[in-house]
Amino acid sequence: MELALTPLEFARRTRRLHPDREAVVDRGLRLTYEEFFDRCDRWSSVLQGMGVAKGDRVAYISPNTHAQLESFYAVPQLGAVLVPVNFRLSADDFAYIVNHSGAKVLCVHADQLDTVDAVRDRLPDVERFVALEGARSGWEDYEALVAEASPEFVRPVVEETDLLTVNYTSGTTARPKGVMITHRNAYMNSVGTLLHLRMDVGDRYLWTLPMFHANGWTYTWTVTAASAAHVCLPAMDPATVYDLIRDEGVTWLCAAPTVLIMLANTPEGVRGEVPPGVRVVTAGASPAADTIERLEDGFDWTVTHVYGLTETAPFITVCEPRPEHGGLSGRDRAAVKARQGVELLTSGELRVVDTAGREVPWDGTTVGEITVRGNVVMKGYYDDPEATEAAMGDGWFHTGDAAVTHPDGYVEIQDRIKDVIISGGENISSVEVEGVLLRHPAVLEAAVVGVPHERWGETPRASVVLREGAEATEKELIGFARDNLAHFKAPTQVEFLDQLPKTATGKIRKFVLRGGASAVSRQ
């Protein structure tokens, strides 16, 4: 009898082989894998008693806690569909996502109870409201329900093509879209991750990445597949990160480049002694080579860049090391590591194509769009056939990312297609310009956008955040860029900001920056 490809198989195996191994650390709580899965079973039993059946939606609004982690097992093993919601969104966003997904049960962390209560009368289809922490009048108490429940429930047959989660995109310029991820999508992403980024029994993974974000890049299941330990981090704080790395013996973490910049630049007096050997996976935007170099040469950590989207479950490529990279200087090696890399063994086929759909030459200069098809591509956008057709109607998922392919097959993103700057007929990669600015010792963060220019059509403008106590002038940074780039690529304007506008998942909101500093101040 064939078994479905589902991450629930990871739970079955680890529970059987490692029941007494530590599974979860969440503040003062420590759970073995047997204790963790017993709690998951009890919550499945409660949900089934609430009437949740195969195909029903259960939504969660929560930071990284043990209860949020339990949702990735307790909901799917009922054949139900998990909807992990970005907890940093507004009340209106919560209402839209919960209603659009059709969730009948809503589970909410204490920090978001007030926000949900403000729109509760706009959630007519939600039948049960559960407080994961801080239960009060009008909310059912998650911990009390789990404690009183039986671990017995009826397990339905789960097919690998069944929906596992609906993950909503950031929605920076339009309503969020619901990405339908199947059991097979997630299983294949986890297996591919473990093939290229080997995690072992005894490893300890720190949850610096939000679990809601593309299912924590499927590490919600990947860590369990490796029988490693989940160390929860409800709120991102550099000092706490370093404390947990030391105290819990953390060996792995995932983080967007914005978080890596934060960690790399945490003052020594705050971070304390940094244990070496931590393995870091970064994605979500192109990391600056300078940041990679700081972490690898300064901390003796290993940084691996992966690339993907929520729509691809999420990993498409990994910048896997090759023997020849070992002979490079620290800076040159970091520049290679900042590339998106090559296909994972399990992800499917990737091509960079021109506007006619032809694959571009592997010359490192010809720009095309990254397209992909295969095992990790979503089933489609929930209740949005038009968007689904637009994104993947020809059988390939079109990412919207402009990239080149190097002679060794490594893909390198130049920009989002909509963010490429065309100045005097020349294409300028904002990512390239940002990478140069980040090499300036005074620059902490940089973002480059195209703005109108009478003569050239567009010209690059840089928005810069300086390091604490550092100084730099517009003329100095423009000169630095001109010294390290073709002159036409250098920004002609630099604005200094206290912080860059970002989405809740750490991506820079470039459409806001195009409006200038006054638009940023209104955010």
CATH number for the domain spanning 60: value is: 3.40.50.12780
Helices (H), 197-314: 214-217, 219-225, 238-247, 257-264, 268-271, 289-293, 299
Determine, yes or no, domain membership for 214: no
Using the CB atoms, write b or e for 213-222: b if 16+ within 10 Å: bbbbbbbbbb
Average pLDDT over residues 224-231: 98
Cis status, amide bond into 491, omega within 30 of 0: no
Determine, yes or no, domain membership for 481: yes
Q: Give the chain's largest Cα–Cα span.
A: 72
Count CA atoms within 13 Å of residue 75 on its CB side: 28
Residue 391 to residues 129, 292, 311, 351, 387, Cα–Cα distance (Å): 35, 32, 10, 15, 6
Q: Is the pLDDT of residue 505 over 90?
A: no
Average pLDDT over residues 455-478: 90
Whole-number mean pLDDT of the chain?
92
What angle do the packed helices 33-49 and 8-17 form, to 10 degrees?
140
Q: Is the pLDDT of residue 488 over 90?
A: no
Handedness of CA 78, 232, 166, 182 (dihedral sign): negative
Q: What is the pLDDT of residue 518?
A: 52
Q: Which of 156, 191, 226 is the last residue of a domain?
A: 191
For strand 103-108 and strand 81-85, is the pairing parallel, antiparallel, or unpaired? unpaired
Average pLDDT over residues 47-57: 98
Instruction: Please give the radius of gyration of the chain, using alpha carbons only, rounded to the nearest integer.
Output: 23
Q: What is the pLDDT of residue 336?
A: 86
Please provide the DSSP assignment of 295-329 as one string. IIIIH--EEEEEEE-GGGSSEEEE----GGGGGS-
Whether 117 and 248 share a structural domain: no
Q: Is the pLDDT of residue 104 over 60?
A: yes
Q: What angle do CA 68, 74, 77 make, to 5 degrees?
A: 140
Determine, yes or no, domain membership for 242: yes
Q: What is the pLDDT of residue 258?
A: 83
Handedness of CA 109, 505, 23, 71 (dihedral sign): positive
Q: What is the DSSP letter of 133?
A: S
Q: Which of 416, 431, 451 is the last residue of a domain?
A: 416
> Which range among 129-133, 402-406, 432-436 shows the weakest confidence by mean pLDDT?
432-436
Whether 247 and 180 share a structural domain: no
Q: Is the pLDDT of residue 510 over 90?
A: no
Question: pLDDT tens digits, residue range 148-197?
Answer: 999 999 999 999 999 999 999 875 456 889 999 999 999 999 999 999 99
Between 522 and 38, whose confidence is greater?
A: 38
Whether 396 and 425 share a structural domain: no
Q: What is the pLDDT of residue 171?
A: 54
3-state secondary structure of 294: helix
Determine, yes or no, domain membership for 129: yes
Q: Is the pLDDT of residue 286 over 80?
A: no
Whether 441 and 403 share a structural domain: no
Considering 77-81, 85-89, 337-341, the range whose residues carry the highest mean pLDDT is 77-81
Q: What is the pLDDT of residue 520?
A: 57
Q: What is the pLDDT of residue 200?
A: 97
At 509, which CATH number?
A: 3.30.300.30
Cα 383 from Cα 179, distance rounded (Å): 10
Determine, yes or no, domain membership for 51: yes
Determine, yes or no, domain membership for 395: yes
Q: What is the pLDDT of residue 381?
A: 97
Q: Are 166 and 99 in contact (CB under 8 A)?
A: no
pTM to 2 decimal places = 0.87
Q: Is the pLDDT of residue 230 over 70?
A: yes
CB atoms within 10 A of CB 323: 6
Whether 176 and 129 share a structural domain: yes
Determine, yes or no, domain membership for 60: yes
> Which range among 82-91, 205-214, 430-439 shows the weakest confidence by mean pLDDT?
430-439
Q: What is the pLDDT of residue 507?
A: 76
Place of tokens 């949740």: 52
Q: What is the pLDDT of residue 329?
A: 84
Q: What is the pLDDT of residue 425?
A: 63
Q: Which of 364, 386, 416 is the last residue of a domain?
A: 416
Between 454 and 17, whose confidence is greater?
A: 17
Q: Is the pLDDT of residue 1 over 90?
A: no
For strand 368-373 and strand 349-353, is the pairing parallel, antiparallel, or unpaired? antiparallel
Average pLDDT over residues 144-150: 98
Number of domains in the chain: 3
Whether 258 and 152 share a structural domain: no
Quick one: which of 118, 107, 121, 113 has its CA closest to 67? 107
Whether 276 and 340 share a structural domain: yes
Average pLDDT over residues 402-427: 84
Question: 67 pLDDT band (50/70/90 cuts)?
Answer: very high
Whether 138 and 74 share a structural domain: yes
Q: What is the pLDDT of residue 290?
A: 82
Whether 68 and 179 share a structural domain: yes
Whether 314 and 389 share a structural domain: yes
Q: Are 243 and 273 in contact (CB under 8 A)?
A: no
3-state secondary structure of 483: helix
Whether 118 and 252 share a structural domain: no
Handedness of CA 199, 204, 210, 215 (dihedral sign): positive
Whether 30 and 125 share a structural domain: yes
Percent share of the chain, pLDDT over 70? 96
Question: 53 pLDDT band (50/70/90 cuts)?
Answer: very high
Determine, yes or no, domain membership for 202: no
Taking the CA atoms of residue 55, residue 56, residue 62 and residue 66 in that order, the dihedral angle to the nearest 10 degrees is -70
Taking the CA atoms of residue 84, residue 86, residue 91 and residue 94 in that order, the dihedral angle to the nearest 10 degrees is -30
Which residue range is the domain that position 462 belongs to?
420-521
Question: 515 pLDDT band (50/70/90 cuts)?
Answer: confident
Sheet containing strand 443-453, edge to edge, reads 443-453, 457-466, 493-496
> Which range among 85-89, 194-198, 421-425 shows the weakest confidence by mean pLDDT?
421-425
